Structure 1
């Protein structure tokens, strides 16, 4: 059950990061949640890409753990 929660968290991070990237590319004047990060457009874009990548890795890792747990039953 705990790996399912990690998987959900990873998917939420992918959704938020992906949405942030798309919004930032469309309207560069509104950085959104990462507006507090100094460095301008490039820093905000990299930040959203990192959040998206971390979410993808976390969701994938958790999905593998869930499959292993199901196979072990």
Structure 2
């Protein structure tokens, strides 16, 4: 079981998301402080999506076109 968990972690680390790639690119190009700011910005973008998922908004928007249109025009 430990081997399976380690392999899953390895796959997750190897499959970098766009936020990680962006943060690495900023860090390599502009330095440590800029990479911290980029990571913080990526985190601020993830928090609303995670919160919406937690409260079930994603399921509601998936099933209701009207709810999706309301949220879309509200933004």
Which structure's relative contact order is higher, taking Cα pairs within 8 Å and 6+ residues apart? 1
TM-score by length of 2: 0.37
Taking structure 1 as the reference length, what is the TM-score of the superposition? 0.37
| Rg larger for | 2
